[in-house]
Amino acid sequence: MASAGATTRQRCLPALATTYDGDDPRLLDRLAPLVDFLEITPDAIATSDVQRAHLRPAVLNEYAAVSSNVRFIAHGVGLSIGSFDRWEESYLHLLDELLAHVPLAWHSEHLACTTVAGENVGTMFALPRTEEALDLVCERVRVLLERYRTPFLLEHVIQLLPDAPCEFTPAGFLNAITSRTGCGLLVDAYNLECDAHNQGLAIQSFLDELDFAPVRELHLAGGTCYNGFRLDIHSGLIDTSTLALGMEIMCRAPNLRAVTFELLKEAIPLLGHDSICAELLRLRSAIQGAIQ
Amino acid sequence: MIGLEAYQRGLLDLLKQRGPAPADAYLRRVADSRELAMLRGIAMWWRVFQLEAQCRFIARLLRRLGCFDESVLSYFNRNNTSPFVEELSRDFLRFLFTHPDPLVRSTSHFEYALSQVLTGSAERFEILWDHLLS
């Protein structure tokens, strides 16, 4: 565990959050007393007719039913903030719709590209860490901050493909974005482990270089290894190594507001409600143990 | 240093296995990489997972015919696939309307009509079923 200093020991505990994207009210009933925030993926609770995508009212009603017990944050997938030509305005329509129903403490997106010239990629491309990409992302972040007046965080995604020629280190690129725009950062401990496994990322060097002041949220998740790759599929419980790394990040991040157990909706039947709730209790206990 | 547009267009072409071999050195390295094969596999896995859950009749038929994954891959590589499962399913079924196998064509028409009716369409559909069930 990194030394966090006296200020860390005096600070408030970060809140506990987890993903909930609807359609499982029995799980929601059990989650609500355990967490402080529910993290909503607007794309995951949307449906699309011929005209446009919109949020499903039944899921919005589920959130309304627990709004006296928990707060909400949004974590988007489809904005494509790094596309060379344009971002996906349709995602912002979903975010607008969500904000009209649910107050958000902050919202976040992946630092990635999911559409290219209007064509959906079907996965995510990480951005090349270049001045060109930096300028493009920073301008869009400024527009988002101006438009929503709600804190906005960017999350680094895993780099599965070989690293492109670049002008910044992984942490240096994130530092440049946060310092130029004032946006926050969402650090994903499992993504860092994936990059270490797949690309040889030196996690400690990354952490030593990263400016932790803008880090507001920490994602913790479990995934799987396949064909020699570690994949960020968010299908499992949190590995011991991921939890330890997450707690180190938490102790280094003085302004951290929430630690989120990120879980794919499709994985819920595989894990079961009991183990998800037990994982949240384990995480709450780990947070308390690491801070106090 | 590759520009952002060339980088993203190049990766998309590689992912969807189309276009000429890239001239850029980085894209050439990606083209030959096992990482690209993995990324293609992930993109395909999601499409297969979604379509199998949403288009149950046609998925089952194509599986029996041994060409489900191949059909999804062909659809994915040749089309701008929607991130929304309803649109993805609708477009995949439409893609199969011209399949060489008449049973696949009829089944895709039937499942498409069924999905439309279930989502409130008042349209009337007629399916030509040129197949004797045994």
Residue B97 burial (CB count, 10 A): 12
Q: Is the pLDDT of residue A180 over 50?
A: yes
Check CB contact of B84 with chain A, cutoff 8 Å: yes
- Least Cα distance to A198 among A230, A163, A237, A152 occurs for A230
Is B116 within a domain? yes
Segment (H or E) for A208: helix A203-209
**Residue B85: domain span:** 56-134
Check CB contact of B97 with chain A, cutoff 8 Å: no
Distances (CA, A) of B118 to A58, A59, A83, B86, B123: 17, 20, 36, 12, 11
Residues 6+ apart with CB under 8 A from A70: A31, A32, A35, A36, A37, A38
Is B41 within a domain? no
Q: What is the tens place of the pLDDT at every residue in A193-218?
A: 999 999 999 999 999 999 999 999 99
Contacts of A162 in chain B (CB under 8 A): 26, 29-30, 33, 35
Radius of gyration for chain A, computed over Cα atoms and rounded to the nearest angstrom: 18
Q: Is the pLDDT of residue A272 over 80?
A: yes
pLDDT level of residue A5 (50, 70, 90 thresholds):
very low
Q: What is the torsional sign of CA A193, A198, A203, A207?
A: negative
Is B51 within a domain? no
Q: What is the tens place of the pLDDT at every residue in A120-166?
A: 999 999 999 999 999 999 999 999 999 999 999 999 999 999 999 99
Alpha-carbon distance of A69 to A63, in angstroms, equals: 10
| Percent above pLDDT 70 for chain A | 96
CB contact under 8 A, B1 and A125: no
Is B14 within a domain? no
DSSP string covering A76-143 = -SS--TT-SS---HHHHHHHHHHHHHS-EEEEEEESEEEEETTEEEEEEEEPP-SHHHHHHHHHHHHH
Torsion of CA B72, B77, B79, B85, to 10 degrees: 40
DSSP string covering B23-83 = -SHHHHHHHT-HHHHHHHHHHHHHHHHHHHHH-HHHHHHHHHTT-HHHHHHHHHHHS---S
Q: What pLDDT, on the 0 to 100 scale, is given for residue A4?
A: 42
CB contact under 8 A, B8 and A84: yes
Residue B36 burial (CB count, 10 A): 20
Residue B31 burial (CB count, 10 A): 16
Task: For residue A15, list its beta bridge partners.
Answer: A258
Of A5-14, A196-205, A270-279, B73-82, the one with minimum mean pLDDT is A5-14
Is B77 within a domain? yes
- Least Cα distance to A116 among B47, B65, B19, B45 occurs for B19
Q: Is the pLDDT of residue A178 over 50?
A: yes
For B29, nearest residue in chain A (alpha carbons) = A162
Q: What pLDDT, on the 0 to 100 scale, is given for residue A205?
A: 98
Q: Any idea which residue has 């801070």 for tokens?
A: A291
Q: What pLDDT, on the 0 to 100 scale, is given for residue A130?
A: 98
Is B114 within a domain? yes
Task: For residue A184, list its beta bridge partners.
Answer: A153
Residues A212, A288, A206: CA angle, nearest 5 degrees: 25
Is B113 within a domain? yes
What is the total count of domains within chain B? Answer: 1
For B73, nearest residue in chain A (alpha carbons) = A122
Per residue, what are the HEC states of A165-188? CCCCCHHHHHHHHHHHHCCEEEEE
For A126, nearest residue in chain B (alpha carbons) = B8
Contacts of A160 in chain B (CB under 8 A): 35, 38-39, 42
Q: What pLDDT, on the 0 to 100 scale, is given for residue B42?
A: 95
**What letter would DSSP give residue A22?**
S
CB contact under 8 A, B35 and A122: no
Task: For residue A229, list its beta bridge partners.
Answer: A226
Q: What pLDDT, on the 0 to 100 scale, is given for residue A222?
A: 96
For B27, nearest residue in chain A (alpha carbons) = A164
Alpha-carbon distance of A225 to A232, in angstroms, equals: 9
Q: β-pairing, A215-220 with A184-188?
A: parallel
- Overall fold of domain A37-45+52-291: TIM Barrel (3.20.20)
Complex prediction ipTM: 0.92
**Chain B residues 11-50 with a CB less than 8 Å from chain A:** 11-12, 15, 26, 29-30, 33-36, 38-39, 41-43, 46-47, 49
Contacts of A198 in chain B (CB under 8 A): 35
How many beta-carbon pairs under 8 angstroms link A with B? Answer: 97
**What letter would DSSP give residue A152?**
E
Question: Token digits for A21?
Answer: 């994207």
Comparing CB atoms, the residue among A123, A132, A162 nearest residue B33 is A162
Domain residue ranges of chain A, discontinuous segments joined by +: 37-45+52-291
Check CB contact of B66 with chain A, cutoff 8 Å: no
